[in-house]
Amino acid sequence: MIERSSAAEILKGLGLAVFECHSGGLFTLLGEPPHWSGRFAFSKYAGLSSAELVEIFPLLETFLPEAGEFWATPQDVPLESGPWMQADAAGLVCTLQASAISAATRPFLLLSMPGERFDEHRAIIQRARSQSLEYGRMERHVRELADQKTHLESHNREIERLNRLKDEFLASMSHELRTPLNAIIGFSTLLVQEKAGSLNDRQKSFAGEIGQAANHLLNVINDLLDVSKIEAGRLELHQEAFNLGEGLSEVLAVIQPLARAKGIQIHAEDAGAGLPVYADRVRFKQVLYNLLSNAIKFTRKEGRVSVAARSSGSEIEIEVSDNGAGIPREEQERIFERFYQVAGSGFHEGTGLGLAIAKSLVERHGGRIRVESAPGRGSRFSFTLPSGIG
């Protein structure tokens, strides 16, 4: 790749008289060709009009107009005059030849003396020409890149527009779906609680099923909405300092019935009691709920799940362990990807979004989430959050 200035550098030297033609028809001599200056005495000129050039080299009178046309639409092959004879300043007759070339898109006039270093001159012209072509290619490449950039920009704008539409669609759909779902959940609960009169066992169990299915659907919708918010960078955190033990008890109160239904005991002792954490309380509970409900879901009946928390420096670490199915090593990274579920872990309710959301939530707090697991032996998920001290 060449720069504009280096084209002139290449053409200079080795005895060629090299003129650059500027707009307005002014020719400037590049360099000082010593064995020419003595013979034609023009090296002292900084800029020559075409008339002055013709005065020194009369045969340029016919060549310059042709060269003008050549420079207007440069070709790969240089334009060359035939050889002509003229007397130098000392009256000695010599043979001269003129070439017009375009190097790095700039017009140059070259004067040479065929026979004297002729091959060298030709090589220089060749080189300038190929560099000119390379420059042209580079310019084309730059133009193509600019076109691609414009294309990508408009493509990106379209993607952004569609993304916005998707977000708006999800937001309004989730609202439309959540309102009736909440009604279904609320009324089925009232039925189960026999607030509208007594039901027989079968009716109660059906009403319970309706409530559970509606709850599941509500969770799926909430997960989808969270993912869409996270992707759009629109997830807001409302961080505050609170007692970890309290947040944990609130989650346990909701999750205990699930555990009891499978005969699973949750060991929490006084986990987190008195430990201040600085986090979005709702999101913290969401992460913990997700880890606990997974632990229950992937642990056989009568299994064991435990929660522990400890403070380490400026962080609090929360840990959920189970002695359930475990996760093969090669899947342990992937379970944090959206929609990823370990194959062969049997049928379980779930979207495969929970851990992806948990990871984003923890990372938004500046924390980390990780898993240690051995198939058949169980899993230990742990995550960190900023401590609420200081």
Contacts with ligand ADP by CB under 6 A lie at 290, 294-295, 298, 322, 324-325, 327, 335, 340-342, 345, 350-356, 379
**Between 187 and 340, whose beta carbon lies closer to ligand ADP?**
340
**Between 104 and 362, whose beta carbon lies closer to ligand ADP?**
362
> Mind spelling out the 3-state secondary structure of the chain?
CCCHHHHHHHHCCCCCEEEEEECCCEEEEECCCHHHHHHHCCCCCCEEEHHHHHHHCCCHHHHHHHHHHHHHCCCCCCEECCCEEEECCCCCEEEEEEEEEEECCEEEEEEECCCCCHHHHHHHHHHHHHHHHHHHHHHHHHHHHHHHHHHHHHHHHHHHHHHHHHHHHHHHHHHHHHHHHHHHHHHHHHHHCCECECCCHHHHHHHHHHHHHHHHHHHHHHHHHHHHHHHCCCCCCCEEEEEHHHHHHHHHHHHHHHHHHCCCEEECCCCCCCCEEEEEHHHHHHHHHHHHHHHHHCCCCCCEEEEEEEEECCEEEEEEEECCCCCCHHHCCHHHCCCCCCCCCCCCCCCCCHHHHHHHHHHHCCCCEEEEEECCCEEEEEEEEEECCC
CB of 319 to ligand ADP, least distance (A): 12
CB of 366 to ligand ADP, least distance (A): 21
**Between 17 and 335, whose beta carbon lies closer to ligand ADP?**
335
**Between 60 and 356, whose beta carbon lies closer to ligand ADP?**
356
**Between 20 and 223, whose beta carbon lies closer to ligand ADP?**
223
The CB-nearest residue to ligand ADP is 350
CB of 320 to ligand ADP, least distance (A): 8
End-to-end Cα, the chain, rounded Å: 58
CB of 327 to ligand ADP, least distance (A): 5
**Between 124 and 355, whose beta carbon lies closer to ligand ADP?**
355
Opening angle at CA 364, ends 358 and 368, nearest 5: 65
**Between 28 and 323, whose beta carbon lies closer to ligand ADP?**
323
**Between 226 and 322, whose beta carbon lies closer to ligand ADP?**
322
